[in-house]
Amino acid sequence: YQRRVRDEPQLSLAMIRRGGLRLHRSFASVARPTRASRFSAVEESDVAAMRAIVGDNNVLVDSADTAAYREDWLRKYTASSNSTLVVRPKTTEQVANVLAHCNKRKLAVVPQGGNTGLVGGSVPVHDEVVLSLSRMNKVLDFDASSSVVVCEAGVVLEQLDHYLGERGHTVPLDLGAKGSCQVGGNVSTNAGGIRFLRYGSLHGSVAGIEAVLANGETLDLLTGVRKDNTGYDLKQLFIGAEGTLGVVTKVAIVAPPQPQAVCVALFCRAVV
């Protein structure tokens, strides 16, 4: 993915699509598209509706409070508007209500996890509503017999690894940003990392997901069954979809046993 971007520096990335809501971002240029007129602007009634859904303390409108949500950690991508509405739901039901309202009002939405990406996919372009999943941070269940752990999308990867490590298991994924990246974002981007060669991609490790579609409908594919041959395997469509099909709210992941030993190899190349 990064090689394609490097070889084609003007490649335009369609990062977000929500039932017709699409944003484009150029990787190599700060040029941004004109704000589409079909999108509505956030009004006071929208802010009031969000406060009614998630509570006053979980709706951010002040530019100082929303600054961290409007910019990526490299400070390469920044929203063009300071008037960003940030909504921080706690439950799947709240996510569904937020998206249903935005869909009805034609408000563009940007889901955001740990905001650790390198291509600006979680940063608004103009004045989109930022849907932060950071408060959905609970590990819900772990079945030692099937080695499947179920957690919410906002769980930080390193915290999940520590939780499993105490139980003799590990996450089949490890990243440099593990201290701040979130599991929902990992699944949505099909993140790889240094354990990829050992455990493979998340397409094989994710046992199930729960996702909310743009119209607020909840899709429950959260099965802990390791083998399920019934019907379409819809969860695979959401893994690596980068939020184009829906917002991932819960994930069931197969957690392999923790390695008994770790070996480090150092490869050197002699320069003559």
Q: pLDDT (tens digit, 9 = 90+) per residue, 159-187?
A: 999 999 999 999 999 998 999 999 999 99
d(CA 45, CA 270): 67
Strands 206-212, 247-254: pairing kind: antiparallel
List, for residues 216-268, the tens digit of each pLDDT value. 999 999 987 777 788 899 999 999 998 889 999 999 999 999 988 877 777 77
Burial of 201 (0-12, 13-18, 19+ CB in 10 A): middle
Q: Quick check: pTM over 0.85?
A: no
Q: How far is CA 209 from the centre of its chain?
A: 12
pLDDT-derived band at 17 (thresholds 50, 70, 90) equals very low
At 4, is the secondary structure helix, strand, or coil? Answer: helix
What is the rounded average pLDDT of the residues 132-145?
96
Q: Do 18 and 39 touch, CB atoms closer than 8 A?
A: no
Which residues sit opposite 131 in a β-bridge? 87, 111
Q: Is 240 left (phi over 0), alpha (psi -120 to 50) or beta?
A: left
Torsion on CA atoms 23, 218, 102, 27, rounded to nearest 10: -10
